[in-house]
């Protein structure tokens, strides 16, 4: 299969974002104290989900969802921070034909019903 190389184009339009990793914590005097999460700066292009895609999927996507294009590999449920907002990696379709990965990011809502 032919491999398309888009990393050079992506570099022109990419910007910084952060991968947030929980470090755990420790017990202090019998109480659990969470450690500060580790923030790793990465580079990629975060774009809004297109209106056509939102309509085609029956409203499954919202205006707060984003698409991430990057050369970094992420797994689902990782936490991404971009411009002060936090997103979780929701979908990661296979892209064997390209050197750029595409991910669907869903905005983290603190008061979302379970």
In a domain, 85, yes or no: yes
The tokens for 20 are 């947030």
| Count of domains for the chain | 1
Evaluate whether residue 2 is within a structural domain. Answer: no
In a domain, 11, yes or no: yes
Q: What is the CATH number of the domain that holds 11?
A: 2.40.10.270
Q: State the residue range of the domain holding 43.
A: 7-107
**How much is the pLDDT for 114?**
47
The H or E element spanning position 17 is strand 15-21
Asked if residue 93 belongs to a domain, the reply is yes
The Cα–Cα gap between 106 and 66 comes to 7
Q: Name the pLDDT band for 2 (thresholds 50, 70, 90).
A: low
- Assess if residue 114 is contained within a domain: no
Burial 64-99 (b: 16+ CB within 10 A, else e): ebbbbbbbeebeeebbbbbeeebbebeebeeeeeee
pLDDT of residue 102: 87
- Please report, in angstroms and rounded to a whole number, the separation of the first and last CA atoms in the chain: 42
- Cβ proximity of 26 and 34 under 8 Å: no
Digit-coded pLDDT (tens) for 59-100: 577 778 899 988 888 988 899 999 999 999 987 766 677 778
Residue 26 covered by a domain? yes
Kindly report, residue by residue over 7-37, the tens digit of the pLDDT: 666 677 789 999 998 777 777 888 877 778 8
With bands split at pLDDT 50, 70 and 90, how would you rate the model's confidence at 6? low
What pTM did the predictor assign?
0.74
């Amino acid at each position: 299969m032919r491999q398309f190389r888009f990393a050079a184009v992506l570099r022109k339009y990419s910007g910084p974002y952060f991968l947030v990793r929980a470090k755990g914590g420790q017990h202090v005097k019998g109480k659990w104290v969470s450690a500060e999460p580790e923030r790793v700066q990465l580079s990629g292009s975060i774009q809004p989900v297109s209106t056509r895609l939102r309509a085609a999927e029956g409203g499954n996507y919202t205006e707060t969802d984003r698409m991430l294009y990057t050369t970094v590999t992420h797994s689902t449920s990782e936490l991404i921070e971009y411009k002060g907002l936090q997103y979780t990696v929701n979908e990661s379709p296979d892209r064997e034909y390209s050197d750029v990965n595409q991910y669907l990011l869903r905005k983290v809502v603190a008061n979302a019903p379970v």
